[in-house]
Structure 1
Amino acid sequence: MPEAAVLIEPVPAMESEAEVVHPVGIDMVHRTRPEDAFPRNWVRLGHDRFSVAAVLPHDHPFFAPVGGDRHDPLLVAEAMRQAAMLAFHAGYGVPLGHHFLMADLDYVCHPEHLGVGGAPAEVDVEVFCSDLKWRSGLPVQGRVGWAVYRDGRLAATGTGATRFTSPQVYRRMRGEVPAEGISIPRSAPVPTARAGRTRAQDVVLSPTARGGVWELRVDTRHPTLFQRPNDHVPGMLLLEAARQAACLVAGSGGILPMEASTRFHRYAEFGSPCSIGAVVLPHATGDTVAVQVTGHQDGEPVFSTVMSGPRAEA
């Protein structure tokens, strides 16, 4: 049974006769802690178009501000992902408890509109759904587009492909994999600052004997990355691993990943080493750098991404 919805106080919004503003329960965005749920309310703008009011916190312990006092691009990506889950659950009636599986996720952030300034940022996330395939009156897969506005200015865009499965179908698909995995890392993390982090508990890579290759460091006790039982490594942890690997190869100061194009090929499983490799791509211009990051487990590709953006200050 899904947990009872915990309502988050909605941000004040203008309401017209044609637009009904709905509050958000954190279960609709698959979170268990209110501080990790960023949408506040939503409005249907059209049959396949929604507007989600969200707040980007300025003091989140994991999604902390990055170079030049900007909101973390991965915070923006997570807000977009949560807005999509909300649209499908609340807008299309996908039942709570269904699994939300993303095959790819691309985003572009505009840092000039992501300044923090010591206060939360209220943003409007427009969600566009397309190429929907239906079964028994419910969407089972489709594409999602996002446009994030702050004070009327375009702060980020993104696209992704997603599909949904019922708990019963998901368990059949996963076979004998336990429904809840537990992982406590035994290897030391890479140096915190070199990974682009300020807290050792947020470092998700361990060193290896191979240059440009690290081992994924999974700690299911992490309060943000693991909010409820999971049978595989979450995609957000893989994106964070990619960011940290990109920082490690980008040189002094690392990289601010304002753009990313990611493909998820298979699940990353608990209990088996997952290697993360990174290489700086040629043709960097000025302070901008692009890094290709790949993850492999048991000889098979898990994910691949290209992250690009300005070099962070050392």
Structure 2
Amino acid sequence: MPLPQSALAPEAATTAPALSYRRTVDRGDVHRWAVSEVFLTDYEDLTADKYLAAAQLPPAHYYFGDHTGPGADAPDSMLLLECCRQAATCIAHRGLGIARDSAFHVTDWTLDLTGAAPPAHDRPRELNITAAVTRSRVRSGTVRAARYVLELSQGGTVLGRCDISACYSPSEEAEIVRRYHRKSTPPLSGSLPTLPPGTPVSPADVARRDPTNVALADARHVAGGVAAVIAVPSGHRTHFDHPQDHYTAMILMEAARQAALLAAGSGVRITGYRSRFARFAELDAPVRVSAVRRTSNEVAVRFRQHGTIASEIAVGISEEF
């Protein structure tokens, strides 16, 4: 799943100031309530469209550290996605001037894991992020959409590249649009049951240890693949660190990862994601998931609600370790 290389300036890393890993950034800059869920530790403007960020990867975490199988000693793909999300969100606020109360909507998200992480040692892993940003839509001097191309490295080794496109709306405007399309006020995640209905997938089948980190239920094999529904407990401390009125892109990415493992086998290694989010996945109706292994190195995952595709995510896999 290669990403374009030209968006990242080769001189960015050599001219960059030293970044700190001593403390986290303001949790509000990355849309978190719990400081324990903040991994970004520093941020720096290089130019109007080039930025640097640093993150410390937690040596243990009940969700981001809860994975088994091939690559279990390397940083989890979900953790790298979250670091990219935090970096892009921080840049949006500090670098692009997006208001704190704006609504964020991710439209496309790609991660390509290109290199093996250096061996773990006695200190937490330190992640470097170089970002190139394109303001793809500006209205009355305010950025309304942007694309972020991020390069991830650790100890001089490039781990991969990430591409995120997002739209931004003033909170009042976003609320009006959401109500118009739904014809009602969306419920918040606190209204979800503590234990989701249905039969949860076995944690071992989706490379998890903790049952609370399973995101799928009622999985079954169908012609050509696997079908299931999203099932996330309302009290999940990472997915719902703060109230949400929809299933977030991160939840859909995790559900896609799990569906891909069900379709291909939990012994494969995840190599990336190529995602498109067409509409919100609402909390008050079932989100149906289908996963089909299209090729030896890719599983196509679709999310449908009310018969309409809400998101499509291609999950890259490899049987070589």
Give the TM bin, normalised by the shorter chain. Answer: 0.7 to 0.9
> After superposition, where does 1:135-284 map in structure 2 within 5 Å?
135-175=139-179, 176-178=184-186, 180-181=188-189, 182-184=191-193, 185-208=196-219, 211=222, 212-251=226-265, 253-282=266-295, 284=296
> After superposition, where does 1:107-126 map in structure 2 within 5 Å?
107-113=111-117, 115-117=119-121, 119-126=123-130
Q: CA deviation at 1:188?
A: 2.2
Q: CA deviation at 1:209?
A: 5.5
Gaps (5+ residues) in structure 1? 1-15
Per-residue CA shift, 1:98-151, capped at 9, x if unaligned?
A: 111110100111351254446421111111111432223221102110011211
Q: Separation in 1 of the partners of 2:16 and 2:62?
A: 39
The alignment's TM-score, normalised by the length of structure 2, stands at: 0.84
Partner of 1:31: 32
Q: Secondary structure at the match of 1:226?
A: coil
Q: CA deviation at 1:179?
A: 5.5
Partner of 1:302: 310
Report which stretch shifted further, 134-143 or 235-244: 134-143
Aligned residue identity for 2:77? P
Q: CA deviation at 1:311?
A: 3.6
- Match for 1:70 among 74, 78, 102? 74
Q: CA deviation at 1:307?
A: 0.9
Q: Secondary structure at the match of 2:270?
A: coil
Q: Separation in 2 of the partners of 1:302 and 1:96?
A: 26
Q: CA deviation at 1:262?
A: 0.6
Q: Separation in 1 of the partners of 2:78 and 2:120?
A: 14
Gaps (5+ residues) in structure 2? 1-14
Partner of 1:46: 47
Q: Separation in 2 of the partners of 1:307 and 1:20?
A: 32
Q: CA deviation at 1:254?
A: 3.8
Aligned residue identity for 2:261? C
The alignment's TM-score, normalised by the length of structure 1, stands at: 0.86
Q: CA deviation at 1:23?
A: 6.8
Aligned residue identity for 2:233? D
Q: Separation in 2 of the partners of 1:231 and 1:121?
A: 33
Superposition CA RMSD, Å: 2.3
Identity value in percent: 26
| Number of residues of Structure 1 aligned to a counterpart in Structure 2 | 292
Per-residue CA shift, 1:216-245, capped at 9, x if unaligned?
A: 103221000001111111111111000111
- Are the equivalent residues in 1 in contact too, given 2:299–2:317 (CA < 8 A)? no
